[in-house]
């Protein structure tokens, strides 16, 4: 989890590949209206995010049903505690990884990105909405994806559910 540009997709995809787990890209579950708003630089509000959270929550549940012997790695912003609570559905085994970054480096990263629908102008609104998690593996998003993946793997091996 984390704001746009923190490396969520790259790290989550790499982690899922290393573990042989299911990977879900949270952005793929946004309704078209949300994608259009973000592309135009209009921040989403809680009402906009409800259908996205519902779709993503259903996809997580479906992946866990379809692949009961595998874990599921999800790349998504999950900016607010209420969103994380909804996505976890009370599952005490869910582990949150927060890729924490500073505004300026993330803004530069976003400005150099051409393959994503989200306008870089929305980063400030994401930081405004961000409720940092109380229980998560917190990592510096400025580190290399491989370093982040290795650190997450070490943390997961110490987690009781592994």
List the CATH code of the domain at 8-150: 3.40.50.300
- Does residue 160 have a pLDDT over 60? no
Q: What is the mean pLDDT of residues 6-19?
A: 97
**pLDDT level of residue 113 (50, 70, 90 thresholds):** low
- Does residue 116 have a pLDDT over 80? no
Q: Tell me what pLDDT residue 115 has.
A: 65
Q: Tell me what pLDDT residue 89 has.
A: 80
Q: Tell me what pLDDT residue 112 has.
A: 72
- Residue 56 contacts residue 24 (beta carbons within 8 Å): yes
- Does residue 53 have a pLDDT over 70? yes
- Where do runs of H (alpha helix) occur along 27-102? 32-39, 46-66, 81-88
**pLDDT level of residue 162 (50, 70, 90 thresholds):** very low
CA distance 8 to 72: 14
User: Higher-confidence residue: 12 or 109?
Assistant: 12
Least-confidence region, from 89-103, 116-130, 131-145: 116-130
**pLDDT level of residue 22 (50, 70, 90 thresholds):** very high
**pLDDT level of residue 150 (50, 70, 90 thresholds):** very high
CA distances from 104 to 6, 33, 38, 63, 110 (A): 12, 28, 20, 36, 10
Q: What is the mean pLDDT of residues 6-35?
A: 96
Give Dmax (Cα) for the chain. 43
For residue 138, list its beta bridge partners: 98
pTM: 0.90
81 C-beta neighbours (distance < 10 Å), count: 12
* pLDDT, tens digit, 9 for 90 and up, residues 82-105: 999 999 987 878 999 999 999 999
């Amino acid at each position: 989890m984390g704001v746009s540009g923190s490396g969520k997709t790259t790290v989550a995809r790499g982690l899922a590949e290393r573990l042989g787990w299911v990977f879900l890209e949270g952005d793929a579950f946004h309704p078209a209206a949300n994608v259009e708003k973000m592309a135009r630089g209009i921040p989403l509000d809680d009402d906009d995010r409800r259908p996205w959270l519902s779709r993503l929550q259903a996809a997580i549940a479906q992946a866990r049903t379809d692949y009961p012997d595998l874990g599921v790695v999800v790349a998504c912003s999950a900016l607010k505690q209420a969103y994380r609570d909804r996505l976890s559905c009370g599952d005490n085994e869910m582990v949150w990884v927060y890729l924490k970054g500073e505004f300026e480096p993330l803004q530069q990263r976003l400005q150099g990105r051409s393959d994503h629908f989200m306008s870089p102008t929305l980063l400030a609104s994401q930081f405004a909405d961000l409720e940092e998690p109380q229980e998560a593996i917190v990592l510096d998003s400025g580190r290399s994806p491989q370093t982040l993946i290795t650190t997450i793997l070490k943390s997961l091996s110490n987690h009781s559910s592994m």
